Structure 1
């Protein structure tokens, strides 16, 4: 089923990927929940830390709607890197080991160079998206910027800014889809196998290409769960971010032989 992706092997030595059922992401969430319960204190510390950081960023951006929307969508871009410590917790748990919050960060040092490269790539992507977001606002939105509480109603729901909404969703969706395809298993693979970032991203692209149904379900679940985190003013993110992070580890173990 993945023969069309074997051409990548001319340039990269990639592991084989498995084909799974479209419903498999539900099992990843179940296994992620088990990992979170087994590492509850460390997992919730991650969730609380990034929830506070996210809240502060959103609070800073409340007077700048373009930056506010870019910050929310940008969270999905940097999420795979932010959850690296959670992958390490799941990796250790799978080996019958336990680790605390500080110890999980120490476990990342062994692959710090590749994680740094990947983090820099995501950072440049986030900066690029923020600039694209500002350009889209400048091109299609010419009114006085409204209060943020009315912005989504007046712009996204009123039907008066169709070109802006379509352009924003198409550009943002295309960028998010690309990052998602390249990051589904990338960071867990680097931590587990010590591979370079390029090989990990190409493996991730192959895994998505071979499992379009499961990838679509997984992407939808991530959007819904993280969206709930934002809808609860980051309170729900304390639990939902660790859940998605741990589940992502099991997605990697399931998809990559």
Structure 2
């Protein structure tokens, strides 16, 4: 166990406890997240349907704009924006944990707690997502010498990897490094912004420290998120209807299990 002291002049200085977790702890987060999903099935699946529909809309617009070649990269970039898309679910999980009513006014209070910082985190992830798409296209063009491939040339990422070892090495290397960076910053900071008075930078630093100190369970958690989201995308977004709320709720429990505010 360790602590992280908030460093800010605008908020009371306080310490956060960072617990040491067992390597298999993410399995318990999945169990708790599924329990939340079962407790509010209509709300959860409606939320999941909205996110899945949004993903499908992006793919449809890309194809309609003769930019179908971006779709494989949209799939991988989807993992970047999942934390922001799941914030409403984390708020619902918080209300269920505290026994509060799930009404609009209460949810608004949760989001109003750190609205500027929450907005900043959302803009940060959106910028990472946009730049990831641009970088993916640049890497593709540099390796295959074709910036805007034809519809017939577009292949799933595994097929592209099999066609070019340099593409596999460069693309996978950049993707893993970027994913690790974003995960370490957002894994715990996003639910933290919904739970207590804190700015985006302190939340990000606290998440960075907590994930680093629990790298074994957090590595497993990152792999689970990537695997389930990939499964959802491979089912033409249909699987995301269940997977998004499940992971959203589980992410709240991951935060609550890892960090707590120490009494002053």
In the TM superposition, what whole-angstrom CA distance separates every residue of 1:59-116 from its partner, at most 9, and x where no partner exists? 2234535521221111111111110100100000001124158964664233321111
Large movers: runs of 4+ above 6 Å: none
Q: Does 1:19 pair with 2:20?
A: yes
Identify if the C-alpha distance between structure 1 residues 137 and 153 changes in structure 2 by more than 3 Å, giving closer, same or farther.
closer
Normalising by structure 1, we get a TM-score of 0.89
- In structure 2, the residue matched to 1:94 is 97
Equivalence map 1:1-257=2 (5 Å)? 9=5, 15-62=16-63, 63-64=66-67, 66-99=69-102, 104=107, 107-142=110-145, 145-147=149-151, 151-152=155-156, 155-158=159-162, 160-257=163-260
Which range is displaced more, 110-119 or 146-155?
146-155
SS in 1 for 2:156: helix
Q: Is the 8 Å Cα contact of residues 42 and 100 (structure 1) preserved in structure 2?
A: no
In the TM superposition, what whole-angstrom CA distance separates every residue of 1:185-239 from its partner, at most 9, and x where no partner exists? 1111111112111111111111111111101110111011111111111111101
Q: Which runs of 5+ in 1 are unaligned?
A: none
Q: Is the 8 Å Cα contact of residues 69 and 149 (structure 2) preserved in structure 1?
A: no
In the TM superposition, what whole-angstrom CA distance separates every residue of 1:1-29 from its partner, at most 9, and x where no partner exists? 65xxx7x7595665121110110000000
Q: Is the 8 Å Cα contact of residues 74 and 129 (structure 1) preserved in structure 2?
A: yes
How much has 1:145 moved relative to structure 2? 2.4
Aligned-residue RMSD, C-alpha: 2.4
C-alpha distance in structure 2 between counterparts of 1:182 and 1:114, whole Å: 14
Which range is displaced more, 191-200 or 241-250?
191-200
SS in 2 for 1:16: strand
Normalising by structure 2, we get a TM-score of 0.87
C-alpha distance in structure 2 between counterparts of 1:34 and 1:148, whole Å: 44
Report the structure, 1 or 2, having the larger strand content. 2
Q: Which runs of 5+ in 2 are unaligned?
A: 9-13
C-alpha distance in structure 2 between counterparts of 1:93 and 1:151, whole Å: 43
C-alpha distance in structure 2 between counterparts of 1:182 and 1:153, whole Å: 26
C-alpha distance in structure 1 between counterparts of 2:105 and 2:234, whole Å: 29
C-alpha distance in structure 2 between counterparts of 1:148 and 1:24, whole Å: 44
